[in-house]
Chains A and B, each alone.
Chain A
Amino acid sequence: MTLNPFLVLASLLFSIGVYGVLVRRNAVLVLLSVELMLTAVNINLVAFGAHIQDTLASGQVFALFVLTVAAAEVGIGLAIVLLIFRNRSSANVDELDLMKW
């Protein structure tokens, strides 16, 4: 089994995610882009895990952990976004300068 197509796919997904995080203004889309980057990482984990034929299947198991953590993270992230939207009638990350000095 060849590894390269999986790596190419993961790289593309990760790059799209990075682009989304840096460029999109809507906080929901930024979160979705973060999910894309995590998915790319998961693909890499599963692909390498299958490639080295690990008897413990640690790559696949670790991918499941990442999914769990990502779900939790998105839960919290969306809650924050929702609250910000309620307070300021906008989920635009450009306008969020609360953490400025």
Chain B
Amino acid sequence: MTTLHLFASQLLLAAEEGKAVELSDGGVLAEFAWLIPVVPLVLMFGIVFFGKRLPFKGWELAELSMAFVAVYGVALFAMNASEGIYYEGSVEIATIGSYVIEWGWIVDGLSIMMYAVVGVVGLAVFTYAKGYMEGDVRFTWFFAAFTLFAGAMLVLVSSPNMIQLIVGWELVGVASYLLIGHYWEDHANNAAAIKAFITNKVADVGLFIGVIIAGVTVGSFRFSDLLGAIEAADSALVDVAFWAGLALFIGAMGKSAQFPFHVWLPDAMAGPTPVSSLMHAATMVTAGVYLIGRVFPLYHDALFAVDVKTIIIVVGAATLLLTGLIALVQNDIKKVLAYSTLSQLGYMTAAMGAGAYTAGLFHLFTHAYFKALLFLGAGSVIHAVHSNDMSDMGGLRKSMPYTYWTFLVGSLALAGIFPLAGFWSKDEILASISYDASHGGGTVATVVLVIAIVGAFITAFYMARAVYLTFFGEYKGEGHPHESPRIMTYPLVGLGVLAAIAGFANMPGIFTGFTDWVGARLIPMGDHHAESIDFVLAGIGLAVALAGIGLGTRIWGPDRETQEARDTFRIAGLYPLLERKYYIDDLYLYGIVGPTKGPLARAADWSNTYIIDGVVNAFGAAARLLARVVYGGLDQRGIDLAINAVGAGTGEVGEGLRHAQTGKVQQYAAALFVGAVLLVVGFLIFG
């Protein structure tokens, strides 16, 4: 029943320029990596059933699961850094026709990176959430759903086959639905949860189609078989590669909230801030980028879906520019960060589209730390002033020093200021797009490069605005804000350190460890890596970031005008467009949801009244008729008659026979003798 397939204990990886790297199988550590998704899922049930009886109401189990994942993930990460790991284990669950459904775990550069990120960021966020959610009515339930969220993401990233990927993918969707709608007493939050779920579901259709095309063509749902078919230039796969690649990318667009599926992510801010933090950093939105990374050769190999790459880079560029602009006009601090996440996801997607596997994942890696940090910082501020609106904040620099300094580090990292994490990853992306522009990407890539540089400017600009409005000037809210408790500030400091140093994992020309770490895959990814720092491009990136901060300081700086005057900063024509989010939400609501909802409801009502009710009524009438026939004809006249006749006959026979029972002994004796004589005579005659 249980078959273990072990793969590739000694694989050769031609990483760069024919330099062969030997991969190890990871030993015991990789063999037991299935614990990584299983432990959170098991502890989730523990929280549900026993959480309320525990001293910390279930939080300790959630924290334990994340601590386990963090330690395991970092241990694998360190091992991968020293020798490179590829291991794949599968347990067969069912066989359908020639297709095998399996549960498995993959331990390679990509998944190890995700384990470490989910574990480390998750640990920080779960610790922080203990303080943030204190006193919440559904404290235990929150941590159960939160653990499920992280566990589902680990199911997704540990999956060596596409079926399990879909299971994790949908579990992430369910958990996000539960968490976004955590404060369900408010109807708007329910609506946001449903919006996130439905938008994802629409995009998931693409994922399903992609998985079916790829799975049926290759004859297996395993990624290793798909990559094997790509390496062998399988001709059947070549024919369908474009559509498979496009469909998979549509699925990725939904989870990674790429334009035009981005609408759910800002609304997802309705959930508690720790949820936003984890969702934007490590789980959920990174799933799309992860999927593209998982099947990267499908897009990158010249024989296969290279045409989709153009679509990917264009979608990524559109997302990064359009959503970055919206972030400029948001007053809700969480929404600023949400649109900034969308913009950064646009960077990752554009990098993938430019054929830069490492650059895209590196940005995912660094972004996870500083975006988690920024959200937790925002949560800390919201915790203090009890409002999301930046016009209720200001001047928090002095009263909340930990939050201020860590938020500042996160903002500078996001803006891409040397030497913080964002500088290195953004520079790597710019370099990759620039390389693509001169190596077959053509005009599209050149335009995307310009957009990415403009995007860097916008990023610095809106982060400067957020920092100034929140931490500088006069406090405009009510009460006296205080620094958050230590259980919330310690994770901030921890993530602040990581946001500062994570970029050193990949410094072109100096240390390029990250390239090898995520390059530990079944087949070489074959993407371009920058050999050394491109000083011109890095200089431009840094210059526009500084310019953005400079302009932000001029407009929103503390010593300029009053808050009211700053808020009047408007660009005629553009501002309403941005405020209404390009009318895309309106388009969906009035263009798709509205026209669909009305007629669909009417059609459902009509079919219910006339078709379903008709069928049901007809069945009812037929049953009644049949019952009448059975009762009147068969039961009353047939069966009852026979039964009554038997009863009456028995009675009459008894009535007749009882006269023979005279009670006179001698009559009985006479009958006995007559009977005996008759028997004797009978035997004499017939015997």
Q: How far is the CA of A18 from the CA of B666 in the complex (A)?
A: 11
A101 touches B658 (CB 8 A): yes
Question: Which residues of chain B come closer than 8 Å to A8, judged between CB atoms?
Answer: none
Q: Is A99 close to B, CB under 8 A?
A: yes
Interface size range on B against A: 10 to 19
B663 touches A100 (CB 8 A): yes
Q: Is A96 close to B, CB under 8 A?
A: yes
- In the assembled complex, the CB of B493 is this many whole angstroms from the nearest CB of chain A, namely 107
A96 touches B669 (CB 8 A): no
B673 touches A93 (CB 8 A): no
B657 to chain A: closest residue by CB: A101
B664 touches A97 (CB 8 A): yes
Interface size range on A against B: 10 to 19
CB-contact partner of A101 in B661, B664, B665, B666, under 8 A: B661
Q: How far is the CA of A73 from the CA of B482 in the complex (A)?
A: 115
Q: Is A38 close to B, CB under 8 A?
A: no
CB-contact partner of B663 in A22, A23, A30, A99, under 8 A: A99
B660 to chain A: closest residue by CB: A101
B669 touches A21 (CB 8 A): yes
Question: Which residues of chain A come closer than 8 Å to B663, judged between CB atoms?
Answer: 96-101
Question: Which residues of chain A come closer than 8 Å to B664, judged between CB atoms?
Answer: 93-94, 96-97, 100
Known: A18-B673, A22-B670, A22-B673. A96 touches B665 (CB 8 A): yes
B670 to chain A: closest residue by CB: A22
Q: How far is the CA of A30 from the CA of B665 in the complex (A)?
A: 10
How many A-B residue pairs have C-beta atoms within 8 angstroms? Tell me. Answer: 31
Question: Which residues of chain B come closer than 8 Å to A101, judged between CB atoms?
Answer: 658, 661, 663
A23 to chain B: closest residue by CB: B666
B669 touches A22 (CB 8 A): yes
Per the 8 Å Cβ criterion, residues 77-101 of A in contact with B are: 93-94, 96-101
Encoded as 1 (CB less than 8 Å from any A CB) or 0, chain B from 631 to 672 comes to: 000000000000000000000000000100111111001100
- In the assembled complex, the CB of A54 is this many whole angstroms from the nearest CB of chain B, namely 24
B661 touches A100 (CB 8 A): yes
B662 touches A100 (CB 8 A): yes
Q: How far is the CA of A25 from the CA of B345 in the complex (A)?
A: 123
Question: Which residues of chain B come closer than 8 Å to A18, judged between CB atoms?
Answer: 673
CB-contact partner of B662 in A21, A23, A30, A97, under 8 A: A97
A33 to chain B: closest residue by CB: B669
Q: How far is the CA of A21 from the CA of B664 in the complex (A)?
A: 12
B665 to chain A: closest residue by CB: A93
- In the assembled complex, the CB of B678 is this many whole angstroms from the nearest CB of chain A, namely 15
Question: Which residues of chain A come closer than 8 Å to B670, judged between CB atoms?
Answer: 22
Question: Which residues of chain A come closer than 8 Å to B662, judged between CB atoms?
Answer: 97, 100
Q: How far is the CA of A67 from the CA of B643 in the complex (A)?
A: 53
B658 touches A21 (CB 8 A): no
A24 to chain B: closest residue by CB: B666
Q: How far is the CA of A93 from the CA of B664 in the complex (A)?
A: 7
- In the assembled complex, the CB of A38 is this many whole angstroms from the nearest CB of chain B, namely 15
Question: Which residues of chain A come closer than 8 Å to B658, judged between CB atoms?
Answer: 101
Q: How far is the CA of A93 from the CA of B665 in the complex (A)?
A: 7
A96 to chain B: closest residue by CB: B665
Question: Which residues of chain B come closer than 8 Å to A97, judged between CB atoms?
Answer: 662-664
Q: How far is the CA of A12 from the CA of B658 in the complex (A)?
A: 36
B661 touches A93 (CB 8 A): no
Question: Which residues of chain A come closer than 8 Å to B666, judged between CB atoms?
Answer: 21-23, 30, 93-94
Q: How far is the CA of A37 from the CA of B666 in the complex (A)?
A: 15
Q: How far is the CA of A15 from the CA of B666 in the complex (A)?
A: 15
Q: How far is the CA of A23 from the CA of B664 in the complex (A)?
A: 12
B677 to chain A: closest residue by CB: A18
- In the assembled complex, the CB of B679 is this many whole angstroms from the nearest CB of chain A, namely 15
- In the assembled complex, the CB of B674 is this many whole angstroms from the nearest CB of chain A, namely 10
A93 to chain B: closest residue by CB: B665
B663 to chain A: closest residue by CB: A100
Question: Which residues of chain B come closer than 8 Å to A30, judged between CB atoms?
Answer: 665-666
- In the assembled complex, the CB of A28 is this many whole angstroms from the nearest CB of chain B, namely 14
Per the 8 Å Cβ criterion, residues 22-75 of A in contact with B are: 22-23, 30
Q: How far is the CA of A22 from the CA of B670 in the complex (A)?
A: 6
A98 to chain B: closest residue by CB: B663
- In the assembled complex, the CB of B137 is this many whole angstroms from the nearest CB of chain A, namely 83
Encoded as 1 (CB less than 8 Å from any B CB) or 0, chain A from 1 to 27 comes to: 000000000000000001001110000
A99 to chain B: closest residue by CB: B663
Question: Which residues of chain B come closer than 8 Å to A21, judged between CB atoms?
Answer: 666, 669
5 extra A-B contacts, CB within 8 A, seeds A30-B666, A96-B664:
A93-B665, A93-B666, A97-B662, A97-B663, A101-B661
Q: What residues of chain B have their CB less than 8 Å away from a CB belonging to chain A?
A: 658, 661-666, 669-670, 673
A-B complex: 4 closest residue pairs judged by Cβ atoms: A100-B663, A97-B663, A99-B663, A101-B661
11 contacts between A and B (CB under 8 A): A18-B673, A21-B669, A22-B669, A22-B673, A30-B665, A93-B665, A94-B664, A96-B664, A97-B662, A99-B663, A101-B663
